Structure 1
Amino acid sequence: MAQESADLASDCQSWLQKLSAWEQASSEETQKDTCLHLSGFQEFLRQMYEILKEMDSDAILERFPTIGQLLAKACWNPLILAYDESQKIVIWCLCCLMNKEPRTSAESGLNSWIRGLLSHVLSAFRFDMKEVCLFTKSLGYESIDYYPSLLKNMVLSLVSELRESHLNGLSTQSRMAPERMMSLSEVCVPLVTLPDMEPLVEALLTYHGHEPQEVLAPEFFEAVNEAFLSEKIVLPTSSVVSLWFRHLPSLEKATLHLFEKLFSSKIICLRRMECCIRESFLPQAACQPAIFRIVDEMFRFVLLETDGAPEVLAALQVFTSCLVEALKKENKQLTFALRTYFPYGAPCLAAALSQHPEAIPQGHRLQPLLHISQLLREAVEDCTRGSPRNPFESWFLFVHFGGWVDLAVAELLLREEAEPPAGLLWLLVFYYSPQDGSQQREQSMVELKVLINRLLMLLRSGPLSATDLQEAAESPSGDPRPPVCGQLVRRLLLSLLLWTPEGHAIVWEAVTHMAHTDAVIHEIIGFLDQTLYRSQHLCVEASRKLARDLLKELQAQV
């Protein structure tokens, strides 16, 4: 690295001398010499940029004291600027010299001088820079004083030109050719984080011409997306939606960026998930069906790769909740929207699932649950009779709306009827074991019915004990339960313990019996967090306080 810097410092002096020679002569021989050495100069600039981007402004000027002079001469050489590649790399190098937080008048002056050079490069799109300089001097301004305002006004002028084609809602012929749009977007790549450039970045993102192909450079989309994800710039929702709608790799990267945040912790926290999801702008952007389909497919892939990991299911359900909320804010007709977003599910099923379970009054919850169960069962049975669709599609639609599972568990445990409804049994078995065939599912329903009857009998027969609950939860056949069925059993036990006064007295002892492995502890933590996040309509305050205490205790153990 040190040797490379020393070599570049020597090369910098050599190129500065050559640029000075080119500057002082305008003969045909000088032009030929410039063209002859242009490729070598471009390669030098590329190497220099790779070094500069890893250094701060002060270190650059200390290591390469003449770099500013060299770049300035390059900016004023028309043969160098005539090549887009040279122009782009010169701008990149100039941006490296900018002091992000100037503390002295010298640093502020350097920034102003660099803005002047950037203004000159951008002026190729609209102005003759020599005329601008003469005009400003005639007004009594020094160029260094006028450059910051010039850059700002130039940006506003370009923004006005971009928006002119949509003035008053009329789609007129754009004055800016596609080639010019492409070139302008390439020039903006290293400038996207400059505050003065924000209006131009937004205007480019929301510009819609009549060209059949994309007119903006992919590097521009990538630079804006990277700056947005790293919180170096702030964009309005319309600009973000346009960015992801027009550039699929940026949308995919934004979704992966969200996944990294959501799944970086082993402990599930739905409040934190919701905060991350809202801040990502993805639910708002996903109001566009094309964007939602991409994000949803990425959730599907992660769900399959992790065998339905609880944290992925939880994130999908929180994301769906945020999406439904965003759709309502846009005043879209929700049932129509969901048919558009979930084409692989029956429209009537999507409409039924889109209702808010917590909004249904107690005493009126059973019928909607049985209706959803019937629709799902019909779809799954159609699949088993040879339909080209896979039962996974119906399950994938169902798991977007996890609140219905909470409601089904509550209806089974808090009901007054003697027999648990078969539709609710089927719904829970399908949610936890979608891969089972019809015969295996029927057997699981029989076992689930026996378990629920045992639990309710214990609840009604007298004081509960943790040992009795544990024995009641054992498989009737004596075989160890598969992991998924084990999750369902633990969910029923925990719900009974939290939702009934009788369960409160033994909840600590019962949880201690259940939490015999790290995996089960994490599962219980996830259930408690979900209870506090999503079950206000099912739990009284005493239950919520107990869940908070349990959650705090278990989190301290991991």
Structure 2
Amino acid sequence: MSEVQPASQLQHTAESSLNVQEMQFWLDKAVAWGQADSPDSHKDTCLHLKRLRDFLQQLLTHIHNMSSTAETMKRLPLLGQFLGHLCWNPIVSADDSSRGLLLQCLWGLHSEHPSDAVERKANQWIRRVLCQLTTEEDNIATDVFMKHVSVPPKEYHHKVLKKMVAQLQENIGRSCSSLSSVNRSCSCDIVLATSDACVPLVTYPETAPLISALLQRPMTCVKETLSADFLQALGSAYSSRSLSLEGQDLVSLWFRSLSSLEEAVLGLMESVLITDWTPQMLEQQVALSLLPKACAMHCSMFLVVSDIFRSTLKQAEKNECLKSLVQSFTRSFLRELALLLPQMNVPLKAFFPQSPPSLLAPLLTLPSEMPQEAWRNHLNWLSRSLQRLTEEEEEEEGGSRGTRLEGHHRVFEAWFLLVQCAHWVRVALQLLATSGPEDSGPLLWLLTFYHHPTNRWHHRAAQLVQAREAWEHLLAVFIASPHPAPAARLHSLVALLSPPAQRPPLAQRPPLAPSLTISLLVNFAVFCQRPLSASKEILQTVVDQSGVADEAACVLSSLELRLNGGGCSSSDRVHLRIEGLQHTITHKHSA
């Protein structure tokens, strides 16, 4: 049978009848669909659903242009059979648009004042058929019931849809491994057809068990068992919030659909950029997203998410919000991974294939997993290892292009791993706030590298000099100077934190990342031995004059989160100082 032409090419004038061949085509289709209750029949129905809606719209226009039901039936004698077959097709009747058009066609054929036996018989038939299609939301059909049927409208559509879902679930009961004969058809073909048949039904609550069964079906075959249209429909419905997926179903969708996973990650990144979240709120939001748990379960998903973070940070290495997101995600991921490790066969290095192997275990090790007295040696080793990488990169600057690119790649991957495992950067900040000048070099270099990973225009050395100057100012203010702190020292700190336009000229020196100085300032205020009142006064003076109260409050919250999370041992004194400094900043800032 030849395919029907697009509906747009078959528009007729109001006086002419519909194309007879087209009418016969759709009747044959409706009869065939009703006679074969199989996955292939369901798939064929779904494939033709859009064109069927176009034809029903054309048919509705034709009915409205007829003077009576009798005339319509005379011109289209096959109309009753056609509509009847469609009304009993659960896929057609389950689709909102198709069911609405069917209701309108039936209502258009209903005669308010039947003039002959044809119209009276048509009215009786229409009332019976409306029982199947009616829902409480269909106002036209409800009116018909209230006028002509002695019982109120029933949720018949709900029952029909539940029956169809149960029927489709039966089709996916077997797995490939359960086939008793190699000559039998692969059951994944049935699952694929069933997922196609489910496409127009994904937003219906009644379909939830079928969707879950399809998503949770083990992937025991080399074939793709779920159709791309089905996965796309799920992704679109979920992103538009017309479908609710939770737990394992959502993880399974991400695992099977790359576009859905990417959309989830990009959505999380966008929310971080537009929402002013505290570190605690960010930690909670990341965990609720289920992405860390999903990535711990599936290494391939972690690689995709990491690659999105990697690509974004290559373009925005100074974006502290994105860094915080990456760090929060990695912390949550490592917690989830630790719960799964006993039964996992995937080595840890499989999750970080691009990271320098020698740095992987040292950076992924948590500070709480080693004695506190070993922290400094551990950080010194990390700093020297990273320095060697950067020195090798600089030596290769004069080499071939391929060698230079390889060097840049190694250094970036080392920095990216450091961002993911920034717990060691925070430990370095704590030690810098409690150590003397003789052993600060490696820690300052590590901190500078974290904030300035690329050696653009050979500025790394100059930035390290500025970082040391900022640290020495803080050392003098919080440790060496009497109380109150010298105004000149405080002024120097304010100058380092002020916006570039407000800073004094520094002979073309590259700007030092303000976040580096703020982090050092807050850690000195928390961990130094000065009385809390003196630390409050210094911190308040600097943040007020430089306008970085919000940033300082964020660093305090991050430090509190790390200490509460077991990232490092801390005393009640430290917690009380954090609380007091937070109160000082937020109270003054809100006032």
Fold conserved between structures, TM > 0.5? yes
Q: Of residues 261, 280, 290 in structure 1, which corresponds to 2:289?
A: 280
| Aligned residue runs from structure 1 range 133-212, under 5 A | 151-152=161-162, 154-165=164-175, 180-208=190-218, 212=222
**Deviations 1:507-530, CA, capped at 9 Å, x for gaps:** 345434334566x34432432332
Deviation at 1:395, TM superposition (A): 0.9
* Structure 2 equivalent of residue 528 of structure 1: 556
Pair 1:309–1:333, CA change in 2 (3 A): farther
Q: Give me the whole-angstrom Cα distance separating, in 1, the residues matched to 2:130 and 2:273.
A: 41
Deviation at 1:504, TM superposition (A): 3.1
Pair 1:33–1:271, CA change in 2 (3 A): closer
Instruction: Name the SS for the 1:193 alignment partner.
Output: coil
Would you say 1:310 and 2:326 are equivalent positions?
no
* Structure 1 equivalent of residue 413 of structure 2: 393
Say if 2:171 and 2:191, in contact at 8 Å, map to a contact too.
no
* Structure 2 equivalent of residue 133 of structure 1: none
> Partner amino acid for 2:424?
W
> Partner amino acid for 2:389?
A
**Deviations 1:213-243, CA, capped at 9 Å, x for gaps:** 5343333212323444455555454332321
Q: Give me the whole-angstrom Cα distance separating, in 2, the residues matched to 1:174 and 1:224.
A: 30
> Partner amino acid for 1:524?
A
**Deviations 1:113-145, CA, capped at 9 Å, x for gaps:** 4599xxxxxxxxxxxxxxxxxxxxxxxxxx978
Pair 1:177–1:446, CA change in 2 (3 A): same
Q: Give me the whole-angstrom Cα distance separating, in 2, the residues matched to 1:200 and 1:173.
A: 28
* Structure 2 equivalent of residue 492 of structure 1: 520
Q: Of residues 577, 583, 590 in structure 2, which corresponds to 1:543?
A: 577
Say if 1:91 and 1:187, in contact at 8 Å, map to a contact too.
no
Say if 2:26 and 2:82, in contact at 8 Å, map to a contact too.
no
* Structure 2 equivalent of residue 433 of structure 1: 452
Q: Give me the whole-angstrom Cα distance separating, in 2, the residues matched to 1:111 and 1:427.
A: 74
| Aligned residue runs from structure 1 range 236-385, under 5 A | 237-265=247-275, 267-287=276-296, 288-331=298-341, 337-385=347-395
Q: Give me the whole-angstrom Cα distance separating, in 2, the residues matched to 1:161 and 1:36.
A: 23
Q: Give me the whole-angstrom Cα distance separating, in 1, the residues matched to 2:384 and 2:197.
A: 58
Say if 1:182 and 1:216, in contact at 8 Å, map to a contact too.
yes
* Structure 2 equivalent of residue 77 of structure 1: 85
| Aligned residue runs from structure 1 range 48-67, under 5 A | none
> Partner amino acid for 2:353?
P
Pair 1:345–1:447, CA change in 2 (3 A): same
* Structure 2 equivalent of residue 43 of structure 1: 54
Deviation at 1:442, TM superposition (A): 3.8
Q: Of residues 422, 425, 440 in structure 2, which corresponds to 1:402?
A: 422
Deviation at 1:208, TM superposition (A): 4.8
| Aligned residue runs from structure 1 range 428-507, under 5 A | 428-436=447-455, 440-458=459-477, 459-465=479-485, 467-471=487-491, 473=493, 479=507, 482-502=510-530, 504-506=532-534, 507=536
Instruction: Name the SS for the 2:428 alignment partner.
Output: helix
Q: Give me the whole-angstrom Cα distance separating, in 2, the residues matched to 1:532 and 1:358.
A: 15
- With the length of structure 2 as denominator, give the TM-score of the two structures: 0.67
* Long gaps (5+) in structure 2: 1-10, 31-47, 60-78, 102-128, 136-152, 397-402, 497-503
* Structure 1 equivalent of residue 543 of structure 2: 514
Instruction: Name the SS for the 2:372 alignment partner.
Output: coil
Say if 1:525 and 1:554, in contact at 8 Å, map to a contact too.
no
Q: Give me the whole-angstrom Cα distance separating, in 2, the residues matched to 1:151 and 1:279.
A: 32
> Partner amino acid for 2:449?
F
| Aligned residue runs from structure 1 range 210-221, under 5 A | 212=222, 214-221=224-231
Q: Give me the whole-angstrom Cα distance separating, in 2, the residues matched to 1:193 and 1:486.
A: 49
Pair 1:47–1:446, CA change in 2 (3 A): farther
Q: Give me the whole-angstrom Cα distance separating, in 2, the residues matched to 1:445 and 1:156.
A: 67
* Long gaps (5+) in structure 1: 1-10, 23-27, 49-70, 98-109, 117-142
Say if 1:289 and 1:340, in contact at 8 Å, map to a contact too.
yes
Cα RMSD of the aligned pairs, angstroms, is 4.8
Deviation at 1:151, TM superposition (A): 4.4
User: Mean Cα displacement is larger for which, 469-478 or 482-491?
Assistant: 469-478
Pair 1:451–1:163, CA change in 2 (3 A): same
Pair 1:90–1:454, CA change in 2 (3 A): closer
Deviation at 1:247, TM superposition (A): 1.5
Instruction: Name the SS for the 1:286 alignment partner.
Output: helix
Q: Give me the whole-angstrom Cα distance separating, in 2, the residues matched to 1:360 and 1:555.
A: 39
Deviation at 1:79, TM superposition (A): 12
Pair 1:195–1:87, CA change in 2 (3 A): closer
Q: Give me the whole-angstrom Cα distance separating, in 2, the residues matched to 1:95 and 1:501.
A: 76
Deviation at 1:201, TM superposition (A): 0.5
> Partner amino acid for 2:293?
Q
Deviation at 1:389, TM superposition (A): 3.7
* Structure 2 equivalent of residue 105 of structure 1: none
| Aligned residue runs from structure 1 range 92-171, under 5 A | 92-93=96-97, 113-114=132-133, 151-152=161-162, 154-165=164-175
Q: Give me the whole-angstrom Cα distance separating, in 1, the residues matched to 2:183 and 2:342.
A: 32
Deviation at 1:434, TM superposition (A): 0.9
Q: Give me the whole-angstrom Cα distance separating, in 2, the residues matched to 1:236 and 1:442.
A: 50
Deviation at 1:498, TM superposition (A): 2.6
Say if 2:134 and 2:156, in contact at 8 Å, map to a contact too.
no
Q: Of residues 2, 7, 24 in structure 2, which corresponds to 1:31?
A: 24
Instruction: Name the SS for the 1:545 alignment partner.
Output: helix
> Partner amino acid for 2:375?
R
* Structure 1 equivalent of residue 107 of structure 2: none
Deviation at 1:399, TM superposition (A): 0.5
Instruction: Name the SS for the 1:502 alignment partner.
Output: coil
**Deviations 1:183-205, CA, capped at 9 Å, x for gaps:** 43233223223333222112222
> Partner amino acid for 1:493?
L
Q: Give me the whole-angstrom Cα distance separating, in 2, the residues matched to 1:465 and 1:45.
A: 83
Deviation at 1:152, TM superposition (A): 3.8
- With the length of structure 1 as denominator, give the TM-score of the two structures: 0.70
Q: Of residues 425, 443, 456 in structure 2, which corresponds to 1:424?
A: 443
Deviation at 1:468, TM superposition (A): 4.9
> Partner amino acid for 1:202?
S
> Partner amino acid for 1:93?
S
Deviation at 1:163, TM superposition (A): 3.5
Give aligned pairs, total.
476
Q: Give me the whole-angstrom Cα distance separating, in 2, the residues matched to 1:433 and 1:29.
A: 69
User: Mean Cα displacement is larger for which, 291-300 or 523-532?
Assistant: 523-532
